[in-house]
Structure formats: C-alpha cells, structure tokens
Amino acid sequence: MSRLVDWTGLAAGLESAGIAWRELAEDERAEYAVDGVQPTAICWPASYEEAARALAVADRLGLAVSPRGAGTKTALGNPPRACDLIISTERLDQVVEYAPANLTATVQAGLRLAAFQNVLAAGGQYLPLDPPHADQVTIGGIIAANASGPRRFGLGSARDLVIGTRAATTRGTVVRAGGRVVKNVAGYDLNKLYIGSLGTLVLIVEVSFKVAPRPAAQRTVVGSFPRIEALTQAVQTVIRSPLFPVAVDLVNGPALRGYDGPPVPEPGSGFLLATLGTAPGRAVLRQRDDLVRIYQQAGATEITDLADADSERFWGWIAERPARQTGPRTVLAKIAVPIARVGEIVRVIEGRRDAFGGQPAIGGRAGSGVIYLNWEIPESDGRDEPLATTARAIEALRETCRSLEGSLIVEECPRALKDRLDVWGPVGPSFVLMRRLKEAMDPRAILNPGRFVGGI
C-alpha cells in the first residue's frame, strides 16, 4: 500500500525553491523502485543549494528519500522501509575544476564515469577506478557504494583517491570535507564516512579526486592453474616481489561464461590468474618476463601475454564480469578475507558447489582478498524451497568467512531472498558508532531508511 504523501507541502516546498519535480506515473514507479518499494515523486535539483533545500523539505514532511544517479546500485543493501521521493543528481553533471599539473580534478556527483574519463584522457590522465557499469555509473554512485574493480590492488579504492567532497544535508545546508588539493586534507576525514554509506548520511553533490597519468604501455600475463594451491602460491610470490603490478585477479571456468575478449588460456576445472603490469618504458617487458617466470615456477600449465589494447579489453571485461553475470534469480556475494586465506575460502566454495547452483562463478581480486561469487537459484523441485536452501548456504558460508577473519555481504539477489536474511550480516561493535553518526547527520532517518547495515 502506498504511503500518504503531503502533496501540497511537497509541491509548495519544492516549487518555492525553484526545483523541478513531478509525481511519478504508475508505470514509472516500478522503474524507480528500490527492491520493489516504489516512490511517488522525483525531483531534479540543478545546484547544490537546491539539493539541500529538497532534503530539507523532505525532512520537514517526514518523507523517505532515495538519492539516485544512474540507478546501477539499487540492488545493493536491504529493502528500504520506505521510499517516497527520488532526488536525482542527473542535472549535477559538470566538471568543476581540472588541474592536470596538480593531478587533481573536481566533478559533480551526477557526472558519469565514462564522461569523466574522456575529459581526463585529453590530458593524458585517468581516474584509476574501474567498477562494473563503467559506461553508466555516476561519480556519486561510485562513492556511495565504494565501488571498485581490478585496479584497486595497485592504485587503491575511492577511499584512497578522494581528497574532498561537498554534500547536501537534511538540515538544508551544504557542507565541505577535505579540499581540492592534496595538501588541504587534514584532521578528521569526513570523506571516509561518506564513502560506502549508501546515501544514508548525506547526499554527495561534488567530489575531488587525485588522478593518475595514463600508462604509456601495459602488459597482462594470464596463466592457467589446475589447482588453487598453485595459484595462491603464485599470488603470494607476486605481491611480495618488487614488481608492483596494478591488478592481480583470479577467475574459474564458469566466471568466463560469455567471455568475448582476446584469447586467453582455458582454465578447465582450474583457474586463471591474471596480472597487470604498467611499468614505464622497457621495464614493462622485464616486469612481464618476471611474472611469466613466477607463473612457471608455481606450476602454470599455459601462459598468455596480452599487450596494450588487448590487455585493456581483457581488464574491461573482467571489471564488468559481476555485472554481466546477473539475472532475476542470480545471487552475487562479495567475500573479503585476508589474502593468505583466499585459497581456503575458494576450496570451501568448491566443496559446497551443490549449494551454489553446481557451477558457481568464482572471480575477483586475488591480490586484495576480495572474491565475488555468482550463482543462479534453482527452480523449486517440489521437495525443498530453493530460497530457504540458498539462505542457509549463505549463512553457512558467512560463518566460514568469519572463522577465517573475513566477511560476506550479498550485493545482489532477488527481493524474496532478502526477506529471509540480512544481506550485510553481523555488524559488530562498530555499529554503536555508526548508529550515532546516523542519528547526528540524519536525525529523522529519511535517507534510504533501512538499507544500510543494521537497518540504519
């Protein structure tokens, strides 16, 4: 049943501030729904001040707000308790300042990553973030979800690259954290609180980044390993070496379904290990040779070397892989364990493969300890309820991750499965502080209520 919305108050508040808005038609509500919870209105602030005023109006009327960029992360998190108003960052899509000599850039939250990369490419630079949906995702969406990709191993995640933010608050103010140059970043870093908070504290409207020079050359070494133990041995050797690769990823055969990039070895029943090197000049060839030697010594059965354009195509596909292999019955789980425990958790998954659809897709950041697991929930066979079986399998694997000093969150799954489990899992003692921050920054809990950890 739809919640009652004070249309008169909403219209008066938004229109007096000059903010474009409208009520959503019945068929549009499903398009903007968050886990089936349908909003009734949408607005498009064209300035930071308008975004803050929209939040203040919603806060005064007690309306639940869902910030939205391109909508690529609406599946992340628990279902919201309510969703009345969408605040779109679509009109906040400008490059505010770009200083190539300082390796910094400031952009608005609604700017798409692909458009930002095009601007930086003209200056011979790029933002080393490569999350899924790279052609659609907005800067604000990346920050809210702390989304990243393979290059996080060598170049860091958003937490390492963001030097400043501006955000609209439910009090109707615009606040700044950090600055636009690296030396201005000091003291308690509010940026890190915003990153990954899924739009539950503030509405991010502007972000300043450290950017990087585009590599002059790159080489990717891809090797086939019949056993996970041999692969993890290679990983340990690589990350302890002075080679400084940018990405170190693994994938199994099911994770390569639909692969259409440059030729790589067949993993068979084993795994592929891929390492990206971007050393300057001829050093990239020496880096490649050393990586090949490490692979051979660890027991790789076939090794391929990809250069420049082929290398870029390969990593583009790998970065998009979790997003490519999704559907209405798909579960996407993100597992984080200490790097030395990657082999253990992969063996556990393979030992329970029947619980994960028989052929689960396993892939991710072997050098960072972040593994993505995709599988399809089977149709009911009349003997057991697949959703209940899946929920039990997730909880059992989550407990195993905890025993390995790690964690498991479910990034995507059917709404019916979310009704049976908490996608975030146990929070721990930090939840007390997180709840206090929520109460301080969003006292009436209007921002994505219930979507984040612990239902905040």
Q: What is the pLDDT of residues 402-429, one digit of tens each?
A: 999 999 999 999 999 999 999 999 988 8
Distance CA 135, CA 153 (A): 21
Q: Are 125 and 223 in contact, with CB atoms under 8 Å apart?
A: no
Q: Which fold has domain 325-418?
A: Alpha-Beta Plaits (3.30.70)
Same topology, domains 1-214 and 325-418? Answer is no
Distance CA 191, CA 83 (A): 25
- H-type alpha helices, 260-385: 283-298, 308-324, 342-351
Helix or strand run (H / E) with residue 268: none
Indicate the domain borders of the chain.
1-214, 219-322, 325-418
CATH number assigned to the domain with residue range 219-322, chosen from the 4 options 3.40.50.300, 1.10.1040.10, 3.30.70.3450, 2.30.30.90 = 3.30.70.3450
Residue 365 pLDDT: 97
CATH number assigned to the domain with residue range 1-214, chosen from the 4 options 3.20.170.30, 2.170.150.20, 3.30.465.10, 3.40.640.10 = 3.30.465.10
Over the stretch 165-215, which tens digit does the pLDDT of each residue have? 999 999 999 999 987 765 554 445 788 999 999 999 999 999 999 999 999
Please tell me whether the overall predicted TM-score, pTM, comes out greater than 0.85 for this model. yes
Find how far residue 393's CA is from the centre of its chain. Answer: 23
Residue 186 pLDDT: 47
Q: Identify which of 224, 221, 220 has the alpha carbon closest to the alpha carbon of residue 309.
A: 220
Q: How far is CA 151 from CA 131, 227, 389, 393, in A?
A: 9, 25, 35, 30
Residue 2 pLDDT: 58
Rounded average pLDDT per 10-residue block, the chain, 456 residues: 78 95 94 95 98 98 97 95 97 98 97 98 97 96 96 95 97 90 58 94 97 95 97 97 96 95 96 96 95 98 97 96 86 97 97 94 96 91 80 98 97 95 92 93 97 94
Residue 383 pLDDT: 58
Residue 281 pLDDT: 87
Q: Which residues of 232-259 are buried (b: 16+ CB within 10 A; e: fewer)?
A: bbbbbbbbeeebebbbbbbbbbbbbeeb
